[in-house]
Structure 1
C-alpha cells in the first residue's frame, strides 16, 4: 500500500512538474513575443518622431517662404510709395514755384 501511495505521489509530482514546465515555456514564449512587440512599437514611435520632425520642418520652411514673399511684396510697395512721395514732392515744388 505504501508503494501504491508513493507511486501515486510520484505520478502526481511528475504531472505537476510537467504542467509547471509547460507553463514556464509558454510564459517565456509570451515574454519573447511581448519583447518583439515592444521593439516594433519603439521602432514605429521613432519613425513617427522623425516624421513629425520632418513635417514640422516643412511647415516651418513653408511659413518662412511665405514670410519672405510677403516681405518682398512689402518692399515693392515701399519702393512704389517712396516713388509716389518723390513725385508728389516734385509736383508740390512746381506748384509752390508757380505761386511765387
Structure 2
C-alpha cells in the first residue's frame, strides 16, 4: 500500500514538473507573474492566520517567530543552491 502511494506521489510530482515546464516554455512571463502573484497573495494568509478553522489560530506575530526554524529554512535553501551549483559544474 505504501509503495503504491509513493509511486502516486512521484508520478504526481513528475507530471506537475512537466506541466510547469511546458507552460514556462510557451508563456514564460505570464507564468512568472502568476507564481509571483500566488506568493504575494499567500503573505496575507500567513499574516492573518488560518481563519477557516473552527478554532481559529492566532495570526503570525513576533511572539510566534522561531529563530531556529528560520535558520533551518535558510540552511535548507542554501544547501539546495550548493547542490545545484555542484551538479551544474559536473555537467559542464
After TM superposition, the score normalised by the length of structure 1 is: 0.28
Higher relative contact order, chain-length normalized (CA < 8 Å, sep 6+): 2
Kindly indicate which of the two structures has a greater share of residues assigned to helix: 1
Larger radius of gyration: 1
